[in-house]
């Protein structure tokens, strides 16, 4: 009799675990959806800013006026939007990566699925090394961390080398 009860208990535990996993997946999916909405809202806001800049330029050109150097370009606002988009996309990528429990072996000849926490491949035995992030520096414009040898910021697009050389 206890054998039957043990089996029912095991099944109940498995069902409970499966329900909890589904709840976590749903919560992560909702979080990812909310992040995607935020990203889309930021892209829409950025597009509207560019549209307004284009309208200003068009008005000057249509009237035959010279476009002034001081045309109102909301540079700081655009930079903030770019940084927010970049940060949200990074969080979204991290969330999606966390959902993927399997990766591929780093051996080009093997490429078999492995778990994220595996130290060695179960098929070929090769040691699995975690990717390391190289030295980072701050962008001179948006002050976000970028790779040390980057020529341009991958967030705001500002050239890094040219401006650094002038500072010397």
Per-residue pLDDT tens digits for 14-73: 888 888 888 888 888 899 899 999 999 999 999 999 999 888 888 888 888 877 776 777
State both tokens at 150. 């980057």
When pLDDT is averaged across residues 7-19 and rounded to a whole number, the result is 85
Query: Is the model more confident about 103 or about 14?
Result: 14
The dihedral of CA 88, 90, 93, 99: what is its sign?
A: negative
pLDDT of residue 1: 57
Give the contacts of 41 (CB within 8 A, at least 6 positions apart): none
For residue 137, what pLDDT is reported?
87
Per-residue pLDDT at 41: 96
Q: Per mean pLDDT, which of 65-69, 84-88, 106-110 is the most reliable?
A: 84-88
What integer is the mean pLDDT of 112-130? 83
Q: Write down the mean pLDDT value for the chain.
A: 82
**For residue 166, what pLDDT is reported?**
41
Half-sphere exposure of 104 (CA within 13 A, CB side): 7
Residue 153: exposure state from Cβ atoms within 10 A (0-12, 13-18, ≥19): buried
Q: What is the pLDDT of residue 155?
A: 80
The pLDDT, as a whole number, for residue 105 is 85
Strand ranges for the chain from DSSP E: 102-104, 113-115, 136-138, 145-147
The residue ranges of every structural domain in the chain are 1-100, 101-132, 134-168
């Amino acid at each position: 009799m206890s054998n039957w009860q043990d089996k029912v208990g095991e099944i109940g535990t498995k069902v409970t675990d499966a329900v909890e996993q589904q709840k976590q997946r749903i919560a992560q999916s909702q979080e990812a959806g909310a992040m995607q909405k935020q990203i889309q809202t930021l892209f829409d806001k950025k597009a509207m800013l560019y549209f307004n800049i284009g309208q200003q330029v068009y008005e000057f050109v249509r009237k035959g006026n010279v476009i002034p150097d001081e045309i109102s370009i909301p540079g700081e606002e655009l930079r903030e939007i770019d940084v927010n988009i970049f940060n949200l996309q990074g969080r979204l990528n991290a969330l999606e990566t966390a959902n993927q429990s399997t990766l591929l072996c780093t051996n080009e000849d093997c490429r078999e699925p492995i778990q994220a926490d595996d130290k060695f491949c179960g098929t070929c035995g090769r040691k699995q090394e975690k990717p390391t992030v190289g030295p980072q520096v701050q962008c001179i414009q948006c002050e976000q961390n970028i790779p040390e040898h980057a020529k341009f910021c991958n967030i705001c697009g500002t050239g890094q080398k040219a401006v650094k050389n002038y500072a010397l």
